Amino acid sequence: MTSTDTAETRASALHERDHTCRALGIRLDGATPGHAQVRMTVADTMDNGLGTTHGGYLFLLADAAFSFAANTYAPVAVAQAAHVTFLAPVAAGDELVATATERARRGLTGVYDVTVTRDGEPVAEFRGHSVLLPGRTR
Amino acid sequence: MTSTDTAETRASALHERDHTCRALGIRLDGATPGHAQVRMTVADTMDNGLGTTHGGYLFLLADAAFSFAANTYAPVAVAQAAHVTFLAPVAAGDELVATATERARRGLTGVYDVTVTRDGEPVAEFRGHSVLLPGRTR
Amino acid sequence: MTSTDTAETRASALHERDHTCRALGIRLDGATPGHAQVRMTVADTMDNGLGTTHGGYLFLLADAAFSFAANTYAPVAVAQAAHVTFLAPVAAGDELVATATERARRGLTGVYDVTVTRDGEPVAEFRGHSVLLPGRTR
Amino acid sequence: MTSTDTAETRASALHERDHTCRALGIRLDGATPGHAQVRMTVADTMDNGLGTTHGGYLFLLADAAFSFAANTYAPVAVAQAAHVTFLAPVAAGDELVATATERARRGLTGVYDVTVTRDGEPVAEFRGHSVLLPGRTR
């Protein structure tokens, strides 16, 4: 079993147990060590009072990609902090893709960048910091 | 009508039109100029694959408080960027309260701090940056 | 020796070895466990090309307060990430005070908030994340 | 005169008036619309009390690249907020290069990413948010 097989297996297992992904229709496109991609079609129950999609759902999608990427290895990694920049408004019906890339790992901490795109154009940029929970493998 | 009446009226109108708040059961406790408080009981459809609440929902709740606080005045304000720090894990059944406070307004931009608490203890700290959309009042 | 004595002693020792603080005239007002305060008078060599103080110096002052606060205990803590918001422009001759407060410590990581003020008014807000280096006490 | 000539001219003029760049030996490698690169050799007066370079100087260098990139067009842009992640420690004598790239511009606000490298390896990642000052061209 290669490390890519393991990465895909670990991310898939996490995705399958994820109630939020099931409830929101977040699919896992794939994962390799330190990387993951997810996608979601925006529902109209995700609108805010201004008629656009709530930024919280863009964050959530990016955060899911981040979590899958950070958990392509053992032990379990959890989010510690994140920064998000909203680049363009999003609306119900849009299909969003979030692609997470590992920027650094040092000791127990990791840094991941996630770009959320619609039709290939960035709508949000996310940077997440993870911390490992030593001794917990899943 | 005082500015507090107007703030409450504006935030309430925004909350009523907000499909996400309705779908997730996010209630608006109140709003005064530059401030707003919301609350939500965590559902088990908000779990991630690690058995805790998805951080995206903590962000979303904080972001909602931020948006209501930033829209206690005209014109309409939208989120431009935000930073969130996760302080403690959260689980289904927990009641979360998010309290937003304005830190600064200059020209078209504003800065808001939001603390998310459970039983009075902080579980997340959020800092959001807003930008006004001149000419759009709602 | 109380924990406050130790905190003050640890922060002072770190401050004394700090070449940057000496070069820029950053003074340590005091430290208690998880807290520290520093101050600096802005020099005209800190100007940017727009005639105001370079934001990097506001960050640096806040980061110094953060580092002293995070090192009021052993083992050594280093900065991992930080977010800064600039609230008002600063000019040469201004005296700035940076006050750091611990928001959370969990495992090897910590969160600190720093407010930079001039005449009691905030000019910058900083949030720093630290990570401990186990086994290194100074 | 092309827009690249103008960008280079605007960034150079800003760099020449910048007292901090002169005091710290920060050189401007070049600028094109929305992009700029600067470099600096770390001095031993930039050390903190732990024997490494103060993170504030890494931030400052990234912030300088950000400011030059954001001011390759009129009107004047100022920093509103920034997030920095420290990836590796830096020491006196290291030569650092900071490269700023525009990620988005909308209305009065802009988003810039800056990577700080040493020998081609990233030591810090910076994301800055700017706001334009309408009516002020330099």
What residue ranges do the domains of chain C occupy?
Answer: 3-132
Q: What does pLDDT average to over chain B?
A: 94
Q: Give the pLDDT band (50/70/90) at residue C1.
A: low
Scored b (16 or more CB within 10 A) or e, D40-60 reads bebbeebbbbbebbbbbbbbb
Q: What is the dihedral of CA A39, A45, A50, A52, to 10 degrees?
A: 20
Q: How many CA atoms lie within 13 A of C73 on its CB side?
A: 14
User: For C80-84, D107-111, D112-116, which range has the lowest pLDDT when averaged over its residues?
Assistant: D107-111
- Cβ–Cβ below 8 Å for A125 and D122: no
**Could you tell me which of D127, B37, D119, D49 has the C-alpha nearest to residue C21?**
D49
Q: What is the pLDDT of residues C31-48, one digit of tens each?
A: 999 999 999 999 999 999
In chain C, the residue whose alpha carbon lies closest to the alpha carbon of D53 is C20
Sort out which chain D residues have CB atoms less than 8 A from C16's CB and list them.
Answer: 49
The separation between CA B124 and the C-alpha centre of its own chain, rounded to angstroms, equals 12
Q: Give the pLDDT band (50/70/90) at residue D136.
A: confident
Q: What is the pLDDT of residues B2-49, one digit of tens each?
A: 788 799 999 999 999 999 999 999 999 999 999 999 999 999 999 999
Q: Residue D11 region, left (φ>0) first, then alpha (ψ -120 to 50), else beta?
A: alpha
| Residues linked to residue B18 through DSSP beta bridges, in sequence order | none
Q: Give the C-alpha distances (Å, rounded to integers) separating B112 from B31, C58, D61.
A: 14, 20, 27
Sort out which chain C residues have CB atoms less than 8 A from D52's CB and list them.
Answer: 78
Establish whether the linkage from the previous residue to B122 is cis, with ω within 30° of 0: no
Question: What count of CB pairs under 8 Å joins B to D?
Answer: 21
pLDDT the model gives residue D104: 87
Name the phi and psi angles at C30, rounded to 5.
170, 170
Name the phi and psi angles at D41, rounded to 5.
-95, 130
Q: Give the pLDDT band (50/70/90) at residue A1.
A: low
Distance CA A126, CA A85 (A): 6
3 state DSSP class of D39: strand
Distance CA D4, CA C13 (A): 50
The separation between CA D9 and the C-alpha centre of its own chain, rounded to angstroms, equals 16
Burial grade of C1 (CB within 10 A; 0-12, 13-18, 19 or more): exposed
Sort out which chain D residues have CB atoms less than 8 A from B108's CB and list them.
Answer: 107-108, 131
Q: What is the pLDDT of residues A57-77, one digit of tens each?
A: 999 999 999 999 999 998 999
Q: Give the C-alpha distances (Å, rounded to integers) separating D76 from A34, A51, D30.
A: 39, 33, 18
Q: What is the pLDDT of residues D52-85, one digit of tens each?
A: 999 999 999 999 999 999 999 989 999 999 999 9
Sort out which chain D residues have CB atoms less than 8 A from C54's CB and list them.
Answer: 18, 20, 60, 63-64
pLDDT the model gives residue D102: 95
Which residue pairs from C19-26 have beta carbons closer than 8 angstroms and sit at least 24 positions apart in sequence? C19/D44, C19/D45, C19/D46, C19/D47, C19/D48, C20/C60, C20/C64, C20/D45, C20/D46, C20/D47, C20/D48, C20/D54, C20/D56, C20/D57, C21/C64, C21/D49, C22/D45, C23/D45, C23/D46, C24/C57, C24/C60, C26/C61, C26/C64
Given a cut of 80, is residue D1 above it in pLDDT? no
> Order of strands across the sheet with C77-86?
C27-32, C35-41, C95-106, C109-118, C121-132, C77-86, D77-86, D121-132, D109-118, D95-106, D35-41, D27-32
Who contacts D105 (Cβ-Cβ below 8 Å, separation ≥6)? D34, D111
Of B58 and C138, the structure prediction assigns the larger pLDDT to B58
Q: What is the dihedral of CA C76, C77, C80, C85, to 10 degrees?
A: -140
CB A86 within 8 A of CB B91: no
Q: Give the C-alpha distances (Å, rounded to integers) separating B82 from A98, B67, C17, D63.
A: 18, 11, 36, 19
Q: What is the mean pLDDT of residues D125-132?
A: 94
Determine which of C109, C111, C133 to mutate to test the interface with A (most A C-beta atoms within 10 Å). Answer: C109
3 state DSSP class of D64: helix
Q: Which residue has the tokens 């937003």?
A: B100
Q: Which of A88, A122, A127 sits opposite D83 (nearest CB)?
A: A127
Distance CA A95, CA A38 (A): 11
Given a cut of 80, is residue C2 above it in pLDDT? no
DSSP string, C91-135: -TT-EEEEEEEEEEEETTEEEEEEEEEETTEEEEEEEEEEEE-TT
Question: What count of CB pairs under 8 Å joins C to D?
Answer: 132
Name the phi and psi angles at C99, rounded to 5.
-120, 120
Distance CA B84, CA B74 (A): 26
Name the phi and psi angles at D108, rounded to 5.
-90, 0
Of all residues in chain A, the percent with pLDDT exceeding 70 is 99
Of all residues in chain A, the percent with pLDDT exceeding 90 is 84
Overall pTM surpassing 0.95 (yes/no): no
3 state DSSP class of A16: helix
Q: Give the pLDDT band (50/70/90) at residue C3.
A: confident
CB D56 within 8 A of CB C56: yes
Distance CA C56, CA B91 (A): 40
Q: What is the mean pLDDT of residues D112-119?
A: 97
CATH 3.10.129.10 fits A3-132, yes or no: yes
CB A27 within 8 A of CB A96: no
Q: Give the pLDDT band (50/70/90) at residue B104.
A: confident
Q: Which of D16, D45, D56 sits opposite C59 (nearest CB)?
A: D56
Q: What does pLDDT average to over chain A?
A: 94
Q: What is the mean pLDDT of residues B43-66?
A: 96
Question: Distance (Å) from the C-alpha of residue A130 to the closest C-alpha of chain B?
Answer: 10
**Type of residue numbered A47:** D
- Cβ–Cβ below 8 Å for B47 and A20: yes
Q: What does pLDDT average to over chain D?
A: 94
Q: Which residue has the tokens 């406790």?
A: B29
Residues in D whose CB is inside 8 Å of some CB of A read 83, 85, 87-88, 103-104, 106, 111, 113, 122, 125, 127, 129
Question: Distance (Å) from the C-alpha of residue D135 to the closest C-alpha of chain B?
Answer: 13
Sort out which chain C residues have CB atoms less than 8 A from A109's CB and list them.
Answer: 80, 109, 131
